[in-house]
Structure 1
């Protein structure tokens, strides 16, 4: 006999496939843990009568198999609607062992619909649907059970109007001819994750590039040890070993407990509980292949670059204002500096987002024309205008 929650999960999955979309949000706790703990998944699906069915799935209190919904999340034929989706997508991917495809992020969409970038869900509902939420339980302990009625009401509100909001934004975007832009901008959300790979974390260690290759091998071994230990005890890695202490251990490479005691930042409790395993990690690093320092030459700059960045930024802001787009969607100062550097060097940089896709069509070509002298800026009636 299937458990009641399993039946609900299957019904939600069936409804999502029938309508072609599913709204979802999560409540989680990240403080004091190695990685965030999923505490609640709020799901909204369309009903045949034109309404919305909302269910709160509780992985802490109820045991259920998320597979039917996980398969829906990974189905590119079903639109997955979220708001500020990055953390939710990463958490669901890890917790439910799935991919998340065909994401429509209402926060991203708002920026293309003439609204502010990074607009909060409450503000967006008020602006688009004239709906005001109560939102009285935002700072509660979501991992504690039982949940109060206030918490459950708060959680349900997060998806109650989500599908309706998505439709309203999509209608606006169709009228503006920008729905494809928003969908393109949401696509990278499919690749987000919250895994902590040592190879990704290693370059971020403070002053790790100042260590010699042998010391760097020890630092990497210690980093792997710290991640494994933190995962086992479900605590933030910094509570196991601080970055600065890790690098100092790699620099000195102590071989005994007495030498460990000389390292600043190692508490007596850490020495007592983990001294031996620390020494073993250091020993493994000593025996490992040295890790050479890869020196990346900074891009060539010119004294004229800051002025060119300001000019390019002015052009981008002008275009954003003309198109009623959030400026942040188009370019950052680092994007513009990369454009200027590659232009000055006479090379193409395929990694600059402002020159790709819809951004390239809307403003990227104008920035290059400005640098080449084919476009200019002038002030007319107190506003900036672009001349060609």
Structure 2
């Protein structure tokens, strides 16, 4: 339920206190509010934590911290990097990426309640509010979720919303731990959550061109130009803290790579470049083009072996087996395998190649169904129907 009084922002002393309590309890719940609009990377605007505290109401201490106050977050960052402390978040990837960058810290032992929900029968992308309702019967308001978190002072509504967002986070974690342990799925969920530990929003300027639309259609020389122009755009956007598209739109960048203009005047023939682009950045763009023209051409990557018409039934068969095992395990199917995984598995089996390095054939997924589908495609198992249900049995 919402706080009876409006929470207040805390300072360095409280950061040290919650860090101490987190070490004693072996866990910390955390969430952030940030703003991405109009920036190169998201701006951290508020940090809210929940930590076990026997002296606090309901045994949970809630604290809110304003990064704009230039607080010393070092004690909290040390907690995030401590492998002995579980860090509880919901939909953790962007929060982890922002905290790693803002505080220059590792984030270890993440327990993402959204990921865990997929292993507990709640769905792979369940929102925080819906999950609280399903697992705990609790409701949270979303009245301030899309407000200006970068404006100061923060309103009473924003502070109440932020505190409420972590109020039940540790209780939710307890419920998910209990359910996953009862079904023998806790270790699987924890393994999947380890992927969140390395979440990052850092981007390599030298590989930025690979994300351009239709970059695969560029010839090797144009790809070299695209790499230099995209790298210049990335660095400029970072320096000016602006979205890359405001520096130079994607379609214009691709067209520049194709045409390779050698002067600002030639840039005027390219759509999507307005006068501001040409006045402020025309010479820099031409210089980036020249660097690309002087660089070694970039050959297209070799294409993976393609599928054949006869692969479709095999992919459908493998998918049916995976869906069956996911239902039996009360797992969200989306956690187990992607369509691209299945295509690679089937193509490799048809060609007699080694098993591909895909997630569906490793870790907990291999334990659940990966080994089974590999043997099915090798002819050592067969699909049968028993009591109206699909089964996979050893071949006779």
**TM-score, scaled relative to structure 2:** 0.92
Q: CA deviation at 1:247?
A: 2.0
Aligned residue in 2 for 1:274: 281
Question: Which stretch of the first structure deviates more once superposed, 311-320 or 344-353?
Answer: 344-353
Q: CA deviation at 1:47?
A: 0.9
Aligned residue in 2 for 1:295: 301
Question: Which stretch of the first structure deviates more once superposed, 134-143 or 162-171?
Answer: 134-143
Question: Which stretch of the first structure deviates more once superposed, 355-364 or 129-138?
Answer: 129-138
Q: 2:345·2:356 contact (CA, 8 Å) conserved in 1?
A: no
Aligned residue in 2 for 1:386: 392
Aligned residue in 2 for 1:367: 373
Aligned residue in 2 for 1:15: 21
Alpha-carbon distance between aligned partners in 2 of 1:57 and 1:150, rounded to the nearest angstrom = 16
Aligned residue in 2 for 1:58: 66
Aligned pairs for 1:1-388 within 5 A: 5-49=11-55, 51-60=59-68, 62-287=69-294, 289-388=295-394
Alpha-carbon distance between aligned partners in 1 of 2:341 and 2:215, rounded to the nearest angstrom = 27
Alpha-carbon distance between aligned partners in 1 of 2:193 and 2:208, rounded to the nearest angstrom = 25
Q: 2:132·2:139 contact (CA, 8 Å) conserved in 1?
A: yes
Q: CA deviation at 1:131?
A: 1.0
SS in 2 for 1:369: helix
Q: CA deviation at 1:160?
A: 0.5
Question: Which stretch of the first structure deviates more once superposed, 348-357 or 20-29?
Answer: 348-357
Q: CA deviation at 1:350?
A: 4.9
Aligned residue in 1 for 2:3: none
CA RMSD of aligned residues (A): 1.9
Alpha-carbon distance between aligned partners in 2 of 1:85 and 1:169, rounded to the nearest angstrom = 16
Alpha-carbon distance between aligned partners in 2 of 1:292 and 1:228, rounded to the nearest angstrom = 21
Per-residue CA shift, 1:273-320, capped at 9, x if unaligned? Answer: 212222222233333x31321331232423210000111111111111
Alpha-carbon distance between aligned partners in 2 of 1:323 and 1:253, rounded to the nearest angstrom = 55
Structure 1 unaligned runs (5+)?
A: none
Per-residue CA shift, 1:11-55, capped at 9, x if unaligned? Answer: 121111111111100111112211111111111111144711111
Alpha-carbon distance between aligned partners in 2 of 1:124 and 1:384, rounded to the nearest angstrom = 30
Q: 2:89·2:111 contact (CA, 8 Å) conserved in 1?
A: yes
Q: 1:214·1:286 contact (CA, 8 Å) conserved in 2?
A: yes
Q: CA deviation at 1:237?
A: 0.4
Alpha-carbon distance between aligned partners in 2 of 1:32 and 1:297, rounded to the nearest angstrom = 36
Q: 2:205·2:235 contact (CA, 8 Å) conserved in 1?
A: no
Alpha-carbon distance between aligned partners in 1 of 2:45 and 2:287, rounded to the nearest angstrom = 36
SS in 2 for 1:84: coil
Aligned residue in 1 for 2:4: none
**TM-score, scaled relative to structure 1:** 0.94
Identify if the C-alpha distance between structure 1 residues 306 and 76 changes in structure 2 by more than 3 Å, giving closer, same or farther. same
Q: CA deviation at 1:381?
A: 5.0
Q: CA deviation at 1:244?
A: 1.8
Q: 1:209·1:293 contact (CA, 8 Å) conserved in 2?
A: no
